[in-house]
Structure 1
Amino acid sequence: MAKQTGTMTAAVTMGHGGPDQIEVRTDWPRPVAEPGHVVVRVAAAAINNTDIWSREGAYGTAGDPDAVAGWRGVPLDFPRIQGIDVVGYIDSVGQDVPERWLDRRVLVDSAVRYEDDRPAEIVGSEVDGGFAEFHACAEAQLHDMTGSPLSDAQLSCVPTAYGTALGMINRAGCAAGERVLVTGASGGVGMAAVQLLADRGCRVVARTSDGKQDVVKAAGADEVSLRGADSLAAVELVDVVVDVVGGEEFGAAVDRLRDGGRLVTAGAIAGPVVPLDLRRLYLHHRTLIGSTMHTPADFAELARIAVQGGIAPVVAESFSLTDIARAQARFLEKDFVGKLVLVP
């Protein structure tokens, strides 16, 4: 199909910093379908912590935790359209891409390029993302969502939150029948982990805040531990901890592992520098696992689960693309359950 030109509405981040760095433009150049690529008409794009941290340059470096840097340890290139999660419909295809893709509903793999099965470049960071009316990506990133019972808004919640959760679950080797503690269980990745673990047949202990217990139980949690009310030390020992929180409870979470247990972490929303008594780690043969996003196999598995309806992402609120500033401010309040979604 011939390439299309023109302009579109896009939320464009002009540099590292606060929300004032985002400009909503109605005259931004619309992407064209290069060879091997397609242009997706964006139907929905979820908001993630990585969108905020990438804009702020809050990832730091090994030598300086306060350095302004993206997730790869260097500043991003600007201007940049952020938005790591993209679901939509194929608007045009480039050379060498079959036209059968046209108008197909697709989920876009948020990893643009892998190295040794690990994401090396991601959507909304190294390349433009989904906070726009149109998004260009490689055909290899597409996963056909035909037949999925999930809405567009629900599907937009899947790539980062569920991809990260499934990557953690697979790296930790969570198996049916195992007892797994999930921290931050009402957040995007935490809720995804609860659903995916329940779908796998694990017994889930959800650590969340008061007022959110009914939602995490509905997501598949067998037990709930309330942060700020229940001591983490009161949780019976588990086989695995799936942690996206970090902060002051990290050492206590390690101590809830049985001998030989595993803790996998992929986040630090309560703080990246944590207390840890190493004796509690090595004397009990426990294993710490770091995990970033997903592998190609993880994402393909996730796409199959989404088509089969094995997950049910919770959309807390939807906002128009032009209301991105209010949506990101709402995201930082952290008093909701599920995901916030932008709809172009």
Structure 2
Amino acid sequence: MQAVTFTGHGDTDVIEYAEVPDPDVGPEDVLIDVKAGALNHLDVWTRRGLPGLDLELPHVPGSDAAGVVVDTGEAVTRFEEGDRVALSAGVSCGECEFCRRGEYPLCVSYHVIGEHVPGVHAEYAAVPQDNLIPVPEGVDWVTAGSTTLVFQTAWRMLIDRADLSAGESVLVLGASGGVGHAALQIAAHAGAEVYATGSSEEKLRYAEAHGADHVVDYEEENFADWVRTETGKRGVDVVVDYIGAGTWRDSIRSLAKGGRLVTCGGTAGPNPETDIPRIFWNQLTILGSTMATPGQVDDVMELVWDGTFEPAVREVLPMSETDRAHALLEGREGFGKVVVRPDSELE
């Protein structure tokens, strides 16, 4: 079969669309005929080489995909041939103290399909049955293959970790990104007043169309100054910041007293300077978040399937052009997700 691979870490020139062996189907695995998958910044970091990440190379990336079940392992009970499914990429042991209390993303052996183990950007993928969710008839493959990771991540960040309530205010940084545009919709759905940042007029208009009440071009104006002006120097209740080093101090400065900053990553750097006095004087809370529990995945994806939440897709490309897809993410071009489909699906 054909799959996206890289044999070493580096720039986009390490990416190939090449012939690889068909996947082995274990007893608990489901074999999927992949129809579409989406890229996330996680794919860029994995390709570049995350510190401490020891991958078996060549590596097949991809933590988002959807397709049709074509075979099942002997112990599979949840799916059968012909079912429509999408990937939920977080893998937990189900047995440690965190899993026993339902906090699966805190699992001591938690890992992510596509990051720590082979991913799903291929013609076929073998996936543990517990990492698949049903896709209703009528949901198109681009939607099904591009929403699970970012919407579950943003849902857990805002609804679970930040405990967002109707009437509160939220600032979403990087509103044109995958997690960002999901967070906009979730915050608006929760009844919050939504502030958002972007780097172009096009991105700001998209942000408004996806739930933002107030927008600012962060390249033209300091977003913390803007937030404090817009809120009468109060600040917002919650900041969603997955940017990291370049925004951290201003994210903290944007918070109201008692506010919460929630983060799931650091696309611009993992080690920011921080403002400790402001954190303790203003009684701020810093919250980390990763992926979601199975129940949270079900809750948010139900709202995707019924059209309440809608993914923005900036481009759909053949998997043979995955290098270009990576370049689109790294260049911050456009709004929303970049989707890749097996070349055989586009013939």
* Pairwise same-fold verdict (TM > 0.5): yes
What one-letter code is carried by the residue in structure 2 that aligns with 1:122?
V
What one-letter code is carried by the residue in structure 1 that aligns with 2:12?
P
How far apart are the structure 2 equivalents of 1:202 and 1:216? 15
2:325 alignment partner, SS class = helix
How far apart are the structure 2 equivalents of 1:87 and 1:302? 16
Structure-2 residue corresponding to 1:164: 153
How far apart are the structure 1 equivalents of 2:76 and 2:246? 50
How far apart are the structure 1 equivalents of 2:124 and 2:290? 27
Shift of 1:84: 0.8
Shift of 1:298: 2.1
Q: Is the 8 Å Cα contact of residues 145 and 303 (structure 1) preserved in structure 2?
A: no
Q: Choose the corresponding residue for 1:42, options 34, 42, 45.
A: 34
2:92 alignment partner, SS class = strand
Structure-2 residue corresponding to 1:343: 341
Q: Choose the corresponding residue for 2:215, options 216, 224, 233.
A: 224
How far apart are the structure 2 equivalents of 1:96 and 1:146? 24
How far apart are the structure 2 equivalents of 1:238 and 1:100? 44
Alignment of 1:88 onto 2:67: yes
**Cα deviations across residues 153-176 of structure 1 (Å, max 9, x unaligned)?**
122221222122112112111122
What one-letter code is carried by the residue in structure 1 that aligns with 2:11?
G
Structure-2 residue corresponding to 1:285: 283
Structure-1 residue corresponding to 2:191: 201
Q: Which runs of 5+ in 1 are unaligned?
A: 1-7, 60-68
Q: Choose the corresponding residue for 2:295, options 294, 297, 304.
A: 297
Structure 2 CA distance for partners of 1:150 and 1:22, relative to 1, 3 Å: same
Structure-1 residue corresponding to 2:126: 136
Shift of 1:14: 1.4
How far apart are the structure 1 equivalents of 2:79 and 2:294? 23
Higher strand share: 1
How far apart are the structure 2 equivalents of 1:222 and 1:159? 25
* Coordinate RMSD, CA, aligned: 1.8
Aligned length: 322
Shift of 1:227: 0.5
Q: Choose the corresponding residue for 1:151, options 131, 135, 140.
A: 140
TM-score (normalizing by structure 2): 0.88
Structure-2 residue corresponding to 1:250: 248
Structure-2 residue corresponding to 1:110: 89
Q: Which runs of 5+ in 2 are unaligned?
A: 99-103, 343-347
How far apart are the structure 1 equivalents of 2:91 and 2:114? 10
**Cα deviations across residues 80-103 of structure 1 (Å, max 9, x unaligned)?**
211111111111111132486322
Residues 7-86 of structure 1 mapped to structure 2, 5 A cutoff: 8-26=1-19, 28-57=20-49, 59=50, 69=51, 73-86=52-65
1:42 alignment partner, SS class = strand
Q: Choose the corresponding residue for 2:163, options 157, 165, 173.
A: 173
Structure 2 CA distance for partners of 1:100 and 1:164, relative to 1, 3 Å: closer
2:167 alignment partner, SS class = coil
How far apart are the structure 1 equivalents of 2:296 and 2:92? 14
**Cα deviations across residues 248-278 of structure 1 (Å, max 9, x unaligned)?**
3311111121111100011222332323221
Q: Is the 8 Å Cα contact of residues 176 and 198 (structure 2) preserved in structure 1?
A: yes
Shift of 1:216: 0.5
The structure 1 segments of at least 4 consecutive aligned residues displaced by more than 6 Å after TM superposition are none
Structure-2 residue corresponding to 1:326: 324
1:161 alignment partner, SS class = helix
